[in-house]
Amino acid sequence: MLTFPLHNAALDLKGKPPEALPHGLLPIPPEVRELIEMERSRHRPEAFAQAEERLVNEWTVHWYFENLCQEVAYRQTPDGPEVLAVGFDEVLALQRNLPPEEWRALKGYSA
Amino acid sequence: MSRLAIPVSRTILNSTGDVLLRAHVMLAVKDSAGHFTDQRFQIDSATDVTTFPAFTAGQLGLPIPINSSPIRHNLTGLEVRSGLLRFRIVGMDSTEYVVSCYFLGDPNTAPYPAVAAFFPRALLQPLALLDHLKFTMQKDPTSAAIYGEVIIDKI
C-alpha cells in the first residue's frame, strides 16, 4: 500500500538541464503500477482497459517530470512512454523536423 | 460544424496524494510571418486572461509588445506584455481565433524553472471564446475518457 509523500524520480532531477533529464523509453516505476491497480477497481473494466495504456504513459512521465517546468514530447507505447524531446529547444527542433501528422501523433507534458 | 473532444488527464500530486485533473488543447499559434506552430495550452477558466511565456513567444516570432505593461502578473509576479494571441485549434477546422493574452516574463531571458510557482505557463481562458465556441464538460462511464472530457463545439 502506497503512503504519501512519494519520493518520485523528479525530486532527484530538479535543477538539471533538459539534456540531462531522462530520454528514451522510460521504465514504468512500481509505484505507478500500484497506482494503476488502485485505480482499476474504480472504473468499468471495459472502459479502464481502453484507458490503461494512456494512464500508464501519462503517470510515468509525471513521475519523472513533475514540477520540473519542462516541456516533454513523448510517444505513447504499450511499454511506457518513449521521451523524444525535453525542454523548449528540443521540442521545437523535433516539431520542425517531423511531418505534421507524425508530430500530432505524439503526446505532450508540461508541469 | 467542428467538434473536438479532449480527455481529462488525472495525475497524483506525489507529495500529498491529491488528485490533479487537467485538460490541454493544442493550439496552432500564428507568428508575425503568418506561419503556425503547435503549442500546448491548459484550459483554465480561472486565469484572468490567456497567458503565454514571453520568451517562448519571442523564440517563435509571435507578435508581442516591445514594452511591458505597468502591472505585474498577480500569481507569478512576472512582468506582463499585454497583447493578442492568434491561433487555430488543432483538430478543428481552420477558423482563426484572436484573444487577449498576457505574455509573461522577459522575452529575452529563458524562464528559470527552479520555482514552479513563478514559471510562466500557457493557459487558455475559454470564456473569451464563447462568441464562437461552446465548451462542455461531461463524463460517460463507458467511455475510454474515464475522467471525463472537455468538448469544444464551433457555434
Q: Check whether B1 has a pLDDT greater than 80.
A: no
For residue B102, the model assigns a pLDDT of 97
Q: Check whether B110 has a pLDDT greater than 90.
A: no
* Sign of the CA dihedral running B67, B73, B79, B80: negative
Radius of gyration of chain A (CA): 15
Model confidence at B3, in pLDDT bands (50, 70, 90)? very high
For residue A111, the model assigns a pLDDT of 76
CA torsion, ordered B69, B73, B77, B80, to nearest 10 deg: -30
Please report whether residue A51 resides in a domain. Answer: yes
| Total domains present in chain B | 1
**Which of A8, A47, A62 is the closest to B141 by Cβ?**
A47
Please compute the mean of the pLDDT values over residues A72-83 and round it to a whole number: 98
**Which of A51, A70, A71 is the closest to B144 by Cβ?**
A51
- ∠ CA B96-B102-B108 to the nearest 5 degrees? 105
* Sign of the CA dihedral running A79, A84, A86, A87: negative
B59–A88 CB contact, under 8 Å: yes
Model confidence at B119, in pLDDT bands (50, 70, 90)? confident
Please report whether residue A6 resides in a domain. Answer: no
CB proximity A24 to B under 8 Å: no
CB proximity B113 to A under 8 Å: yes
Please report whether residue A16 resides in a domain. Answer: no
Residue A58's CB is within 10 A of a number of other CB atoms, namely: 21
- Domain encompassing residue B72: 26-133
For residue A1, the model assigns a pLDDT of 80
For residue B93, the model assigns a pLDDT of 97
* Sign of the CA dihedral running A35, A73, A15, A12: positive
For residue A2, the model assigns a pLDDT of 87
Interface confidence (ipTM) of the complex: 0.91
CATH of the domain at B101: 2.40.70
Return d(Cα A6, Cα A91) in angstroms, integer. 28
CB A61 within 8 A of CB A72: yes
For residue B76, the model assigns a pLDDT of 87
- Domain encompassing residue A33: 23-109
Model confidence at B117, in pLDDT bands (50, 70, 90)? confident
Q: Check whether A93 has a pLDDT greater than 90.
A: yes
Please report whether residue B83 resides in a domain. Answer: yes
Return d(Cα A105, Cα A76) in angstroms, integer. 9
Tell which of B89, B146, B147 to mutate to test the A interface (max A CBs under 10 Å): B146
CB B23 within 8 A of CB B8: yes
Q: Which residue of A has its CA nearest to B114?
A: A15
Please report whether residue A3 resides in a domain. Answer: no
For residue B115, the model assigns a pLDDT of 76
- For the stretch A95-111, pLDDT in tens is 999 999 999 999 999 87
**Alpha carbon of residue B81 to chain centroid:** 16
Q: What DSSP string runs through A19-81?
A: GGS--EEPPPPHHHHHHHHHHHTTS-HHHHHHHHHHHHHHHHHHHHHTTS---EEEE--TT--
Please report whether residue B55 resides in a domain. Answer: yes
Please compute the mean of the pLDDT values over residues B115-124 and round it to a whole number: 88
CB B90 within 8 A of CB B41: no
For residue B62, the model assigns a pLDDT of 98
Return d(Cα A100, Cα A2) in angstroms, integer. 41
**Which of A50, A51, A59 is the closest to B11 by Cβ?**
A59
Distance from CA of B15 to the nearest CA of A (A): 4
Q: Which residues of A touch B145 (CB under 8 A)?
A: 51
- A 62-91 residues with CB < 8 A to B: 62-63, 66-71, 88
Please report whether residue A17 resides in a domain. Answer: no
Which grid cell is B105? 516574463
CB B124 within 8 A of CB B46: no
- Pairing state between β B123-124 and B36-43: parallel
B114–A4 CB contact, under 8 Å: no
| Total domains present in chain A | 1
Q: Kindly report the pTM of this predicted structure.
A: 0.94
Q: Check whether A26 has a pLDDT greater than 90.
A: yes
For residue A85, the model assigns a pLDDT of 97
Model confidence at B91, in pLDDT bands (50, 70, 90)? very high
Please compute the mean of the pLDDT values over residues B116-141 and round it to a whole number: 94
Q: Which residues of B touch A69 (CB under 8 A)?
A: 111, 113, 116, 119
Which grid cell is A66? 513533475
**Which of A43, A62, A108 is the closest to B11 by Cβ?**
A62
Model confidence at A59, in pLDDT bands (50, 70, 90)? very high
Return d(Cα A82, Cα B63) in angstroms, integer. 34
For residue A98, the model assigns a pLDDT of 95
CB proximity B144 to A under 8 Å: yes
Please compute the mean of the pLDDT values over residues B137-151 and round it to a whole number: 96
CB B65 within 8 A of CB B83: yes
Distance from CA of A69 to the nearest CA of B (A): 5
Mean pLDDT over the full length of chain A? 95
For residue A71, the model assigns a pLDDT of 92
Smallest CA-to-CA distance from B138 within B147, B126, B128, B125 is with B147
CB proximity A44 to B under 8 Å: yes
Q: Three-state DSSP class for A15?
A: coil
Residue A105's CB is within 10 A of a number of other CB atoms, namely: 11
Q: Three-state DSSP class for A56?
A: helix
